[in-house]
Structure 1
Amino acid sequence: MIKENDIFIVTGADYTSEGIGLAKVNDFPIFINNLIIGEEAEIKITKVMRNFATGKIIRFTKKSSDRITPLISETIHLAGCQFTQLDYAKEVEYKLSKVERALRVIGGISFKIEKIHAAKNPYFYRNKTVLPFGKRKNGKIYTGLFRHNTHEIIAMEKTHLDDELTSTVIAEIRKLIEKYNYEIYDEISHTGQIRKVMVRVSYYLREVMVVLITKDEQISNLDAFCRDLVMVCPNVTTIIQNVNSERTNVILGKKEKVLYGHGVINEELHDLKFTLSSKSFFQVNTLQAEVLYERALTIAGITKNDVVLDAYSGTGTIALLAAQKAKQVIGVEIVKDAVKDAEVNAKHNNITNVKFFKDDAGAFLTREIKNYNFSVVIVDPPRKGLSDEFINTLLKTLPPKIMYVSCDPATLARDLKKLTRKYNIEHIECVDMFPRTAHVETIVGLILKK
């Protein structure tokens, strides 16, 4: 019987789906942050649940040759940064095997994935970040990320994933919060003014959006705050106040006010221009997004005769790229603001053979299949994967090709198990969109069985 505070010597055997080290004591799983496969460590049990326990490393008795010194030492303690201490080549290798195992175990699919596209630089790639604020007893403001499984902020001057321009801008924001004596929000007492800051950076055009997330709408000296920030950070082209007065972990509130600029920034992707608002979905790794979309559309083999459905179309990135190859593209997205962004992006790029609809993808396909003879269906769903309704509709309407872009191997395997009743898997590739984390993108090409 394992109890809290028990001490064990364990060996790293695997990783959880979130990249946490996994060891076993008498076949009982122990999750241990910062433990690499093959390493031995003395651990202390910190919590015991019904099906697993968590442990903390006291000391290593054997370190892996795959362990590296993290670029920023604090990152080994952060949520969502589990591979910061692992050699990048080994991280990529593990991610490929993770996808293959999910397909085999969950989907019953044995498929050798030949290629995973590693990032040229696994650091400083994120074009969007959201950071909380903290305040020291001496009045100094700090930003950082949460310690794994806690709400404790680990103070960091910069992170190892965010665009370095983001860190420069946030450093100036901290100074201005001190200058204007703004109160930092406390989630326990629900007091204070400034909750978090969100920063978006366009990789190619170097435009910066700052979203100051506040509890209260009325904040003094915001005009002066904006003026000072733009003076020291000329790349900042727009500043937005987002008001979130609720007791919630949801980051953004419903009300926004543009304080400076036009409320959007511009980015380029494969020579197309995209306008991004604060709530626009856009892949956080611009360079790897270009790889992902180029490979997906190449595998799809779209021609000038194809009518394409882009389900979960977001701000229209894939749809607009596909429209350059296809006869017609229909994009379907449930988020109203994303549909508006997609329409603006189509207009800016003078692309006329694409239409966007605000609708549920499954309902749209069921209703409109008689009006559109879709030859290719592209799906890029959130982590939860495809809905049963959408899969059932695909299996009834039977478009000749399906291109599935997935950010979660488990839900991908689940969905492919259903789709392969009527489809053959033709091709699978992976793209490491999120280096130094446990997440990976997978592209699957499916062809209707004859």
Structure 2
Amino acid sequence: MNIKNQVKVKISSIANGGKGISYHQDKIVFVSNAIPGDEANVEIIKESPKWLEAKLLEIPSNNPKREKAKCTIYNDCGGCQWLGVDYNFQTELKKSVLEDIFKKIAKHPLPSNFKLIKSPKTLNYRNKVTLRGQIDVKGQIHLGFFKKNTRTQIHTRHCSLASDNINDFIDFLYSQKIKGKEGKFRLEIRDLPYEKKQNLFVTLHAVEIKELEKKFLSLIKQNKNVLWAGTPKELNEVPLAIQDKQSQINYHTHPAAFEQINTGLNHELRTIIKTKILDLKVTSVLDLYCGSGNLSLALSNFCKFVVGLEVNKKSVDIANFNVKKNRLKNISYKAVNVKKYLEKEIEKCQIFDAIILDPPRKGIKEDLLPLLKIAPKYLFYVSCDPATLARDIKTLKTHYDIDQVYGFDFFPQTYHLETLTIFKKK
């Protein structure tokens, strides 16, 4: 088969990673942006002895689970895979993928009490985006994203997932011109909805337009909503701003800090963890990979003591700033290598009733051994990759029972699903 052959397929199921599954000439076909029920012409773009990879030539109109996506670049953009797909069907697909991952990797069924927490907003929920931009020969500013699986820019005046404040700023830049040199750049924009007046952080990576850096930043600062705009070299000078408010706690942030991009659903995650901590009568918590204290700040009023560990010093500085600003007690954060700290300070860590884990995508494989030696009564494992969670469950289940699994749909219109798994020591 020639690699650019076009064939017609019918999608029967969904794979981890969000690609639709079909079959052609005894080979499995993985189709980007496709969902079960689609019948469509696709182009084969990659081939191996056992499988084919394909892309949709056009979005199918014959699937009742779809409506036309209101985005001009949807089929080419690498951002949304399921824009226009019925939202309830999206969550059904995510649950089915999670069930399959638990069965095949964790060798454990998804518990019958599984709950999937839907996003309060299915569009315009992102409080941060990274835009790829270009200034053309006439000085016109173009903004957008990379075309799927390429480094080619595709431009748009509106992102269906970005917050209204961010889209208003995109519209502002399109109305401006900046002459002097054509070239590419990158913008990181963070929306600060709880700042009453100016509510945007904008970081400019000039890339090909270094000569226009000052001029471009001056233009950006003309926007009335911009609280701070600058380059990565200036990040140390940025004052912290309020990203979020919940339960009388102000959560401050910084342009370079990692934060959950779906504020509304992040409230649900915090609430469920806090409620479970109270129900289980947990009095001491160790928060690993704690970031700026997102999951543990609210626990200080209910626990005798809370400690957070995080390798990123800037995040820890923000966490301790949040402690001070909110006048919280019984809580502190340390900048340490989590694995080394756990190995060295096992006895200190054994005083905690519960450990919260919110690791990077790779999971906690390297930290499992010291964690099992600490052996807290409860583990609250937040994962952004169900596959690495399932791998870790294979080891944890010899020492812990799974009490509950929650799915959190932080990223509507995409295949991504975050989870919270609560473990109880056997």
List per-residue Cα deviations over 1:226-257 (Å, max 9, x = no partner). Answer: 555444x3221111212xxxxxxxxxxxx335
Distance in 2 between residues matched to 1:317 and 1:300, nearest whole Å = 15
1:113–1:256 CA distance, 2 compared to 1 (3 A): farther
Q: Which runs of 5+ in 2 are unaligned?
A: none
- Supply the distance in 2 between the matched residues of 1:151 and 1:405 (Cα, whole angstroms): 31
1:127·1:284 contact (CA, 8 Å) conserved in 2?
A: yes
C-alpha contact 1:158 1:164 (8 A) present in aligned 2? no
Aligned-residue Cα RMSD (Å) equals 2.4
Q: Hey, what does 1:192 align to over in structure 2?
A: none
What SS does structure 1 have at the residue aligned with 2:296? helix
Question: CA–CA distance in 2 between the matches of 1:180 and 1:103?
Answer: 55
Q: CA deviation at 1:440?
A: 1.0
Aligned ranges 1:363-402 → 2 under 5 Å: 363-372=340-349, 373-388=351-366, 390-402=367-379
Deviation at 1:310, TM superposition (A): 0.3
Residue pair 1:36, 1:67 contacting (<8 A) in 2 also: no
Q: Report the counterpart of residue 400 of structure 2 in structure 1.
A: 423
**Aligned: 1:200 with 2:177:** no
SS at match of 1:144: strand
Structure 2: distance between partners of 1:155 and 1:216:
17
Once residues 327 and 304 of structure 1 are traced to their aligned partners in structure 2, the CA distance between those partners, rounded to angstroms, is: 11
d(CA) in 1 for partners of 2:220 and 2:136? 22
Shift of 1:355: 1.5
* Structure 1: distance between partners of 2:22 and 2:87: 22
The TM-score, its normalising length taken from structure 2, stands at: 0.91
Alignment correspondent of 2:153:
153
Amino acid at match of 1:269: K
Q: Does 1:129 align with 2:129?
A: yes
CA contact (8 A) 2:14 2:93 kept: no
Match of 1:98 in 2: 97
Alpha-carbon deviations, 1:267-290, whole Å to 9, x = none?
Answer: 223131122112111100101110
> What amino acid is aligned across from residue 165 of structure 2 in structure 1?
L
1:406–1:328 CA distance, 2 compared to 1 (3 A) = same
SS of the counterpart of 1:84? coil
Give a deviation string over 1:351-401, Cα, whole Å, max 9, x none.
13112111222322232232240110000111111133x111122221111
| Matches of 2:235 and 2:284, distance apart in 1 | 39
Matched residue, 2:106? 107
Q: Is 1:236 aligned with 2:226?
A: yes
The 5 A counterparts of 1:289-308 are 289-301=266-278, 306-308=283-285
Cα pair distance change 1:412/1:257, threshold 3 Å: closer
Match in the other structure for 2:253: 276
Are 1:30 and 2:6 counterparts? no
Given that 2:11 and 2:37 are in contact with CA atoms closer than 8 Å, whether structure 1 keeps it comes out as yes
* CA separation of 1:322 and 1:56: change in aligned 2, threshold 3 A: same
Q: Decide which of 224, 242, 245 is 1:266's aligned counterpart.
A: 242
CA distance in 1, matches of 2:385, 2:39: 29
Deviation of 1:84 after TM superposition, in Å, equals 0.5
Residue 353 in 1 paired to residue 343 in 2?
no
TM-score normalised over the length of structure 1 = 0.87
| Structure-to-structure mapping, 1:282-361, within 5 angstroms | 282-301=259-278, 306-361=283-338
Please say which of residues 209-218 and 153-162 is displaced more in the overlay. Answer: 209-218
Within 2, Cα distance between the matches of 1:160 and 1:62? 20
**Alpha-carbon separation, structure 1, partners of 2:73 and 2:132:** 16
2:101 maps to amino acid = A
Q: C-alpha displacement at 1:423, in angstroms?
A: 0.5
Q: Are the structure 2 counterparts of residues 45 and 183 from structure 1 closer, same or farther at C-alpha, using a change threshold of 3 Å?
A: same
Q: Aligned partners of 1:146, 1:171: CA distance in 2, in Å?
A: 19
1:147 partner amino acid: K
Structure 1: which 5+ runs fail to align?
Answer: 186-194, 243-254
Question: Which 10-residue stretch deviates more, 53-62 or 146-155?
Answer: 53-62
Distance between the aligned counterparts of 1:221 and 1:25, measured in 2?
A: 51
Q: Tell me the distance in 1 between the aligned counterparts of 2:59 and 2:119.
A: 30
Distance 1:80 1:216 in 2: 24
Residue 137 of structure 1 and its aligned partner are, at CA, apart by 5.6
1:165 is aligned to 165
Secondary structure of 2:388's counterpart equals helix
Decide which moves more: 15-24 or 104-113.
Answer: 15-24
Q: Distance in 2 between matches of 1:140 and 1:220?
A: 13
Q: Indicate conservation of the 8 Å contact 2:15/2:97, yes or no.
A: no
Q: CA deviation at 1:28?
A: 1.9
Read off the aligned partner of 1:167 and give its amino acid letter. N
1:140 is displaced (CA, Å) by: 2.4
Calculate percent identity across the aligned residue pairs.
27
Evaluate the alpha carbon distance shift between residue 217 and residue 315 of structure 1 in structure 2; reply closer, same or farther with a 3 A threshold.
Answer: farther
